[in-house]
Amino acid sequence: MQLEDYFDFLAPDDIRLKGTRVGIETILYDFIHRCRTPEAIAQSYPSLSLEQVYATILYYLHNQEAVSAYLADWMEWSHQRREEQRQNPPPQVLKLRQLKAEKAASQ
């Protein structure tokens, strides 16, 4: 089995673990930025095997420059989406904020 056989390369910015909806960024963010062990990561995602987690980390280590760029792009995209949502919250969020303010005012 080749290392790439563990993944579905759906697009240049969308690499997922084969048979799941989990992107490699999910595992690698936990591993790199949260310093979580492969075992802890596998326990957090029941649809993944420990083997898949290790394969993702190994894929990163073998392709560190390209995968680091992939992760940087993903993090920038995520930041932009959060900022858009902060500036234009959905109606449900606005309603919850209003209810929270009303509750605080009544106390």
Q: How far is CA 85 from the centre of its chain?
A: 17
d(CA 30, CA 64): 16
pLDDT band at 107 (very low <50, low <70, confident <90, very high): confident
Contact status, residue 2 vs residue 51, Cβ threshold 8 Å: no
The CATH fold assigned to 3-106 is: Arc Repressor Mutant, subunit A (1.10.10)
Look up residue 23 and give its DSSP letter. B
Res. 24: pLDDT tops 90? yes
Q: What is the pLDDT of residues 36-49, one digit of tens each?
A: 999 999 999 999 99
CA distances from 53 to 33, 80, 91, 103 (A): 15, 27, 38, 45
Amino acid at 43: Q
Domain segments of the chain as ranges: 3-106
